[in-house]
């Protein structure tokens, strides 16, 4: 595992020092639990805003290890949420959380999944991961937090999706549901990402200036081992990409494939003066100035993770953890809105 510190001279929020990474606010701490925590991007933003994490739940072993490495004081259940009863959660925490966060898997709903069910109803009830959002709603109903925020891709509310989710929340005791659509590049994240944040409050974030790819990763040195940046290691192109590398223009890609709705691309050559394309678990990028792949640290920078945040596991797992996270810079702004309501 590659473990190292960050560059304290980096000025932007997502290059903050270890001391700033969590609990930056010294005012009254509110609490939360994080379902489907992944590596911890959703949690990190709330911790940066002064919230206490009472518990995290994550089934993936590598993501759970990353979470524990970065948040060693937070209890974590490395288990399938379908097997967890709310009484087990209550036995792990000493208080009712003010907020419950959840980011259930998006694979049943995303247009990037070529095997996605055609019928929106089947995405919830035929896909083996489709009903996981209802387990999050079950726990939210049982624990009755003041607020909740569930993140997912926009297509989860397509067709009958919004009705199914609203009905499940109504049965859990929450009548008012807001489907907040947030486009991350409008709020300080240097990569494109539009997601729905389902909550019992409206989440209106202040617009931030655009942060370009060059601003986000331009100060990082060339990857070498060892170096002062965790997860900043050299990678090699697969042959199908290396043969095309010199012909790819800014914004172009070496590989195109069919998604559920439209053509998708990977091994994209980033444009330094624009925000990066959407960071996904299996997406890869070509450096805007160098004919080399972006490192995992550069991916993490484009998702607003501070350099002090260390990802553990094998290479593919690390890239997946980064791509599946909620950008901390977005999470923190959501936390600010929530805190104003508490």
- Residues annotated as catalytic are 106
Convert 9-39 to b/e letters by CB count within 10 Å (16 or more is b).
ebebbbbbeeeebbeeeeeeebbbbbbbbbb
- Would you state the structure tokens that stand for residue 160, as one six-digit string? 């009958």
- Which residue is listed with tokens 């104003």? 340
Rounded Cα distance between 166 and 200, Å, is 11
Contact 225, 295 (CB under 8 A): no
Looking at the DSSP assignment, which residues form a beta bridge with residue 256?
265
Contact 297, 315 (CB under 8 A): no
Q: What is the DSSP letter of 293?
A: B
DSSP per residue, 147-202: EEEEEEEGGGGTTTHHHHHHHHHHHTT----EEEEEEGGGGT-SB--EEEEEESS-
Looking at the DSSP assignment, which residues form a beta bridge with residue 153?
195
How much is the CA Rg of the chain, to the nearest whole Å? 19
């Amino acid at each position: 595992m590659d473990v190292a510190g960050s560059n304290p001279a980096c000025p932007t929020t997502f290059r903050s020092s270890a001391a700033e990474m969590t609990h930056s606010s010294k005012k009254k701490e509110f609490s939360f639990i994080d379902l489907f925590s992944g590596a911890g991007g959703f949690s990190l933003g709330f911790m940066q805003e002064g919230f206490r994490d009472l518990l995290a739940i994550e089934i993936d072993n590598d993501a759970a290890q990353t979470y524990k490495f970065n948040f060693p004081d937070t209890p974590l259940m490395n288990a399938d949420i379908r097997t967890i009863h709310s009484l087990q959660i209550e036995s792990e925490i000493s208080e009712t959380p003010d907020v419950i966060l959840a980011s259930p898997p998006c694979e049943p709903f995303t247009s990037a999944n070529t095997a996605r069910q055609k019928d929106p109803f089947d995405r919830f009830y035929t896909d083996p991961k489709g009903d996981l959002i209802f387990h999050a709603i079950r726990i939210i109903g049982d624990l009755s937090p003041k607020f909740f925020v569930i993140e997912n891709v926009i297509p989860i509310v397509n067709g009958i999706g919004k009705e199914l989710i609203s009905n499940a929340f109504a049965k859990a005791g929450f009548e008012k549901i807001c489907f907040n659509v947030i486009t991350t590049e409008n709020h300080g994240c240097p990569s494109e990402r539009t997601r729905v944040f389902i909550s019992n409050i409206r989440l209106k974030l202040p617009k931030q200036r655009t942060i370009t790819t060059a601003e986000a990763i331009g100060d990082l040195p060339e990857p070498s081992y060892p170096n002062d940046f965790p997860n900043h290691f050299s990678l090699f192109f697969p042959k199908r990409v290396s043969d095309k590398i010199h012909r790819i223009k800014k914004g172009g890609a070496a590989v195109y494939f069919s998604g559920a709705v439209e053509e998708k691309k990977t091994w994209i050559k980033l444009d330094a003066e624009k925000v990066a394309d959407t960071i996904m678990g299996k997406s890869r990028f070509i450096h805007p100035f160098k004919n080399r792949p972006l490192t995992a640290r550069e991916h993490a920078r484009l998702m607003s993770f501070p350099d002090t945040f260390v990802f553990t596991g094998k290479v593919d797992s690390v890239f997946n953890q980064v791509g599946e996270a909620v950008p901390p810079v977005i999470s923190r702004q959501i936390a600010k809105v929530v805190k104003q309501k508490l």
